[in-house]
Amino acid sequence: DVKVTQSSRYLVKRTGEKVFLECVQDMDHENMFWYRQDPGLGLRLIYFSYDVKMKEKGDIPEGYSVSREKKERFSLILESASTNQTSMYLCATRRTTNEKLFFGSGTQLSVL
């Protein structure tokens, strides 16, 4: 079974703090994704990476950056957290295109 591990289940940060969300997968998957889920808005893609050191913007990249230095690890960075970034953050991986995504358990981030 694919295991996608997100470093924290719950996180509380202050406005203006730099926030790191980490995601690690154990299946040598090429593609990794960061989504956020908000009530009534579904899952929205922030960034994705199709290979090591490669990254592409998703639908809502503003206020975020990412890093993929190793194949198994994909980090989401909030440079200066704001209250509108309070959300459930979901990491996902996929072996290649046209295959299903495997999701982590999510990180519920609250920015106060």
Partner 1 sequence: DQQVKQNSPSLSVQEGRISILNCDYTNSMFDYFLWYKKYPAEGPTFLISISSIKDKNEDGRFTVFLNKSAKHLSLHIVPSQPGDSAVYFCAASAPGAGSYQLTFGKGTKLSVIP
Q: What does the CA dihedral 9, 15, 19, 23 come to, rounded to 10 degrees?
A: 30
Of the candidate residues 8, 50, 72, 77, the single one contacting partner 1 (CB under 8 A): 50
Residue among 56, 65, 63 at smallest CA distance from 32: 56
**Quick one: 18 or 31, whose CB is closer to partner 1?**
31
**Quick one: 3 or 70, whose CB is closer to partner 1?**
3
> At its nearest, how many Å lie between partner 1 and the CB of residue 11?
13
Cα 11 from Cα 70, distance rounded (Å): 24
**Quick one: 31 or 75, whose CB is closer to partner 1?**
31
Q: Is 90 in the site for partner 1 (CB under 8 A)?
A: yes
Cα 59 from Cα 45, distance rounded (Å): 5
Of the candidate residues 43, 52, 60, 77, the single one contacting partner 1 (CB under 8 A): 43
Are the C-beta atoms of 46 and 36 separated by less than 8 Å?
A: yes
Q: How far is CA 78 from CA 2, 16, 29, 30, 48, in A?
A: 27, 9, 24, 23, 15
Q: Is 5 in the site for partner 1 (CB under 8 A)?
A: no
Residues near partner 1 (CB under 8 A): 4, 9, 31, 33, 35, 37, 40-45, 48, 50, 56, 58, 90, 92, 97-98, 100-106, 108
